[in-house]
Structure 1
Amino acid sequence: MRNKRHLGQAGLDELLRQAGVDPASVTAYDELTEGTFNTVYRIGRSGGDLMLKLSPDPAAPVLTYEHGLIRTETEYYRAALGKAPVPEVVHAGDDFLLMSALPGRTWFSQAEVITERAALRRELGALVAGLYQITGPGFGYPQHGLVDRWSTAFQSMVDDVLRDAARFQVDVPGDQVRRLVLDRIDLLDGVQTAVLIHFDLWDGNILVDDGRITGLIDGERAFWGDPVAEFVSLTLFGALDDDLLAGYGSPVDAEKLSLYRVYLYLIMLVEGTPRGYGPEHEQLTRLVRRHLARELKELGP
C-alpha cells in the first residue's frame, strides 16, 4: 500500500532509544503484513516481545479522520487497560507507538479451527459491556476535539467522510446520507453519555489463545460515542447474533445500528483510493456497496 512507511534497522533502533529501550536487547524485527494503513513490527526480546506501530508517511493521502490516529490509539489503550485485554503502552511518540505484545493470534486467522465460537462471542459481548463503563468528557474523535452532543459529533464525522469522497472522486449518495442523519437528530441526541468505542472490532483485531480472548488490538479508529456504534464492526456484513447479545446483556437499537453501518461503509468505500487498492479489492467494494444500499433502504427514502 502506498501510504505505508518502512524503516531499516538503524531507524528502528533509533525509535527504541527514544522510547528508553536498549536496541541491544532486540533479537529480531519482524514486519507484519496484514494491515493496510500503519506499518507494524514485532520486536523480539528475551524479556518479552514488543509491538511497534508507525503512522503513514506525512505526505501520504489519508482521510480527514485518519490524522493523528497514533494519539487516538494511545488514548484507547490507556483508557481500557485493566478493563479489557489491551496492550500496555510503553512509549508514544508523535508518529509511532511502542506497546507490549499480547498472546494469541487473530480470530480471523484461526477461524477454520476455532470450535468455541459461541462461547467466544458471549465473552466478547461481556467485554464490550465492560468497556462501556469507560466514559469520556465529550463526543467524537479525540484527535479532532470533543463536543457536548453526539448528534453534532456524528454529523461532523459523516460530513468529513463525504467531503473525503468528493476529494478522492468516489461516488457515494452524499445528499441521501446527510438527509437521513438530519432526520434522526432527536434520536442521536438521546445519547447522553459518551463511552469508549473501538469501532474496528472485527475478527482480525481480536486475539484468541486456548479458547479465550486475549487481546483487543488496533484501537486507532476509536472515538467517544454511542454504545450501539460498536456493533457495526462486531457484526461486519452480518446480523446481530444471540450469543453476542447474551454476553452483552442489553438490546441494541436497530435504527441507530443501520445509521452507523452506513458511516462505516462510506469509510470503506472512500479509503481504498488513498490507500491505492488494486483490482484485488473490487469484490470487497461490490460487497460494501450492496450492504450500503441495503442499510439505506432500511432507513427510508
Structure 2
Amino acid sequence: MTRLARHGAALLGAGLWNWHPLPGGDVAEVLLVYLNDGRRVVVKHGPDPVAEAVMLRTLGQTGAPVPDVLAVDEDALVLQYLPADGRLSRCWDDLARVLSLAHTGRPDGDGVRYGWSGDHAFGAVKVCNDWTETWPDFWAWRRIGVHLAHVPVDLARQLETLMRRLPDLLPATPAPCLLHGDLWGGNVLVSDRHVTGLIDPCCYYGHAEVDLATPGVFSQPPAGFYARHGGLARGYEVRFAIYRLWTALVHLRLFGATYRPMVAQYLNDAGVY
C-alpha cells in the first residue's frame, strides 16, 4: 500500500507525508493520502483505473456530483477527497435528485442501444458491456448468461430459465440512460444531508430502474426515494428482483456460498423456483 500511496503522490508531482486505508476496498486498494504540500487525496488501484476515470468524468458531465479525477494511469487513480461524514438514511431524497441528473446521460449516436464502450470488472469477475439493440438481450447475455459457467449446475439451469423469460419480463427498448451500475450505499458519499459524490462506478447505458433497484440490496430506501425520481411503473417488483439478482451473482462469485440464499430469493421473486 505504501507503494500505491507514493505512486499517487508522484502522479501529482508531490511528496508523500502519510496515508491510511479507507473503508471498503474489497476488490481494490483505496487510500486516503496526505501530501507534503498539505493536500488530501484519494488514491486507488483497481482492475482498470483509466476506464474508471472515464466513467467518473462521464457521470460528472451530467451534473451529478463525483470526485474530480486529478490524475490517472494504468496503475492508479487519484481523486479529489470529498467529505463523507453523513448518513444515507437522511438524504434519500437528494440521492433521487442526483440519479435524475445522472440518468439524463445518453449514448452517442442515433438509435437505441444498451452497453458501454468497454468491459469492466469487479476483481476477478468480468463485467461484459458489448452493445445490444434490445434490453432483454443485454440483461440475458451480459448480466445473467455470463455467470452460467461459474455457478453450480442446478443454479445455472434456473438462470437459463430466467433468461428465456426475460423478453416477457423486461421492457424491450426502454430509454437507454447513463447508469452508475453499482449503486449500493457504500458508493454514495454523504455529508450534511447531501450527496457529495458518487464513487466506484460500473457505468453503462440501460434501463433507469437498475439504479433504483440496486440500493435495495443492502438498504431499504423509503417510498419517497422512488417518488422523487418519478415513481415506479407497474410490475417493478419482478424487474427489481431481476436487476438485484445480478448483484447477488457477483457477490456469490466473489465471496462464496454465503450469498446463495440471496440469489435464491431473487430468483424466487422473479418467478423462477
TM range (shorter): 0.7 to 0.9
> In the alignment, what sits opposite 2:204?
223
Pairing 1:62-81 to 2, within 5 Å after superposition: 68-81=47-60
CA deviation map 1:26-72 (0-9, x unaligned) = 432222252210001112234532111112xxxxxxxxxxxx54344
> In the alignment, what sits opposite 1:235?
216
Structure 2 residue identity aligned to 1:135: R
> In the alignment, what sits opposite 1:28?
18
CA deviation map 1:119-143 (0-9, x unaligned) = 5111111211221101124423542
User: Which of the residues 20, 27, 31 maps onto 1:37?
Assistant: 27
SS at the partner of 1:143? coil
| 2:71 pairs with 1:91 | yes
Identity %: 21
Return 5+ residue gaps in structure 1 as ranges. 1-5, 56-67, 109-116, 274-281
CA deviation map 1:210-261 (0-9, x unaligned) = 2222121111x33221111112321115555312112212215222111111
| 2:212 pairs with 1:212 | no
> In the alignment, what sits opposite 1:300?
271
Aligned length: 253
SS at the partner of 1:214? strand
Structure 2 residue identity aligned to 1:39: E
- The Cα of 1:289 is off from its aligned counterpart by 3.2
Q: TM-score, normalised by structure 1?
A: 0.74
- The Cα of 1:104 is off from its aligned counterpart by 2.0
Say if 1:148 and 1:105 are closer, same or farther in 2 by CA, change over 3 A.
farther
CA deviation map 1:188-220 (0-9, x unaligned) = 45234322222322222222212222121111x
| 2:226 pairs with 1:255 | no
Say if 1:98 and 1:228 are closer, same or farther in 2 by CA, change over 3 A.
same
Structure 1 residue identity aligned to 2:13: D
- The Cα of 1:186 is off from its aligned counterpart by 4.9
CA distance in 2, matches of 1:213, 1:238: 16
Say if 1:27 and 1:244 are closer, same or farther in 2 by CA, change over 3 A.
same
Return 5+ residue gaps in structure 2 as ranges. 120-129
On the 8 A contact 1:258/1:299 being kept in 2, the answer is yes
Structure 2 residue identity aligned to 1:139: Y
User: Which of the residues 101, 106, 111 maps onto 1:130?
Assistant: 101
User: Which of the residues 101, 118, 127 maps onto 1:143?
Assistant: 118
Q: TM-score, normalised by structure 2?
A: 0.81
**Which consecutive aligned stretches of 4+ in structure 1 deviate over 6 angstroms post-superposition?**
none
SS at the partner of 1:256? helix
Pairing 1:3-14 to 2, within 5 Å after superposition: 6=1, 8-9=2-3, 12-14=5-7
CA distance in 2, matches of 1:69, 1:84: 22
CA distance in 1, matches of 2:246, 2:261: 14
Considering Cα pairs closer than 8 Å and 6+ residues apart, tell me whether 1 or 2 has the greater RCO: 1
